[in-house]
Amino acid sequence: MIPVAFDYEKVKTVEEAIAALSGDDLKILAGGHSLIPAMKLRLSRPGKLIDIGGITALKDIKEEDGEIVIGAGATHADIMYHNLIRTHLPFFTEGAATIGDMQVRNWGTIGGSLAHADPAADWPAMVLAADATIEMQGVKGRRNIKATEFFTGLFATVLEPNELITAVRIAIPPDGTKSTYQKFAQPASRFALAACAVMRFPDGRTNIAFTGVGDHAFRDTGAEQAISGKAIDDASVEAAMLAALQNVDVMSDHYASEPYRRHLSKVYLKKALMAVKS
Ligand SMILES: Cc1cc2nc3c(=O)[nH]c(=O)nc-3n(C[C@H](O)[C@H](O)[C@H](O)COP(=O)(O)OP(=O)(O)OC[C@H]3O[C@@H](n4cnc5c(N)ncnc54)[C@H](O)[C@@H]3O)c2cc1C
């Protein structure tokens, strides 16, 4: 399992990365824990890798103007162990701890996970439930886009080929907000066979996102409408489970059939709602 030959350039700043990305047949290399396996399997054959792993500015996790800003180069472990995250977004701490194994968590980055858009990856559901904004920069300049508009299909996003994710921004939730990430993991890879992220605000608004279920992670507006503003009890949870996954093309593969995955997703929605119950 050896990739085809490729050129390699290591950059130290975002500006250097943008300049390097102006060519053709390039791929950004971050933690390498999705890209390198894909290259070894010859599913990806870039002519050149631009390694952004040395850009220290992309690793920052900070509070800025009422938002938590997570640099795209922060690893799963950086996020998992960060106090700001534990305080304001405890479900990110919980969810990061479920990603792969220690080696994957120490190398893989949030930016790489979002850009790769694996249908079973964990960060997409968490950033959707947090109503995050994704910050990007490319040869044409900067732009910000809501996570709800970022994922477009199987391994597909709105990112342009020569564009870099620089950060994920999340408004600091009001005191009393509860959040959880509930995942049924594939026992070997730890990717989600079905997982549900929920953020419940003190006024009852409830954001619900799934991953591992369809061809990309998504917010479930049907389930959100069924539970938002209502007390979480047996009847409202039942209503949310009934309303969930309407018009969703649920995946079927050798790990889980479509009916089994649909059932599992609703069970994990129930677990998530019970976890944020006051
Ligand atoms: C054994 C194993 C188990 C795993 N288990 C899980 C799991 O349980 N849950 C889970 O969610 N993931 C899992 N993963 C995937 C892991 O989290 C990856 O690290 C992650 O998906 C990609 O991040 P990366 O930094 O390694 O990106 P890379 O592999 O370096 O890049 C992935 C893709 O994103 C692009 N890219 C990277 N950074 C940027 C950026 N800043 N801007 C634009 N494009 C960028 C690259 O060009 C490439 O196309 C697992 C991986 C392995 C090998």
CATH number, domain of 23, equals: 3.30.43.10
Range of the domain at 25: 7-51
Mutate to test the pocket of ligand 1, among 16, 28, 34, 157 (most ligand atoms within 8 A of CB): 34
User: Residues in the chain, how many?
Assistant: 278
Secondary element (H or E) of residue 135: strand 133-138
> Ligand 1: distance of its center to the CA of 35 in Å?
7
Residue 181's contacts (CB-CB under 8 Å, 6 or more residues apart) are 91, 92, 94, 95, 98, 122, 125, 126, 195, 196, 197, 272
The CB of 54 under 6 Å from ligand 1? The reply is no
Residues 30 and 66 in one domain: no
pLDDT reported for residue 238: 98
The set of residues, in sequence order, having a beta carbon less than 8 Å from that of 134 and lying 6+ positions away, is 114, 127, 144, 145, 146, 147, 150, 165, 167, 168, 169
Counted domains in the chain = 3
Q: Closest Cα to atom 17, ligand 1: which residue?
A: 108
Residue 2 lies in a domain: no
- At residue 1, the pLDDT reads 78
Q: Cβ distance 143 to 166 under 8 Å?
A: no
Residue where a domain terminates, one of 131, 147, 171 = 171
Residue 73 and residue 166 share a domain = yes
Indicate whether 268 belongs to any domain. yes
- Residues 34, 73, single domain; the answer is no
> 73 lies in a domain?
yes
Q: What are the φ/ψ torsions at residue 243 (nearest 5 degrees)?
A: -80, -20
How many angstroms separate the CA atoms of 212 and 121, rounded? 7
- For residues 191 and 100, what is the distance between their CA atoms, to the nearest angstrom? 7
189 and 145 fall within a common domain? no
Distance 184 CA to ligand 1 centre (A): 19
Tens-level pLDDT at each residue, the chain (278 residues): 788 899 999 999 999 999 999 888 999 999 999 999 999 999 999 999 999 999 999 999 999 999 999 999 999 999 999 999 999 999 999 999 999 999 999 999 999 999 999 999 999 999 999 999 999 999 899 999 999 999 999 999 999 988 999 999 999 999 999 999 999 999 988 999 999 999 999 999 999 999 999 999 999 999 999 999 999 999 999 999 999 999 999 999 999 999 999 999 999 999 999 999 98
Q: Please check whether residues 232 and 130 belong to one and the same domain.
A: no
Which residue's CA is minimally distant from atom 5 of ligand 1? 100
Residue 225 lies in a domain: yes
Say what the pLDDT of residue 144 is: 98
Tell me whether residue 29 is in a domain: yes
What CATH code is carried by the domain that includes residue 257?
3.30.390.50
- Residue 210 and residue 155 in one domain: no
| Closest Cα to atom 39 of ligand 1 | 112
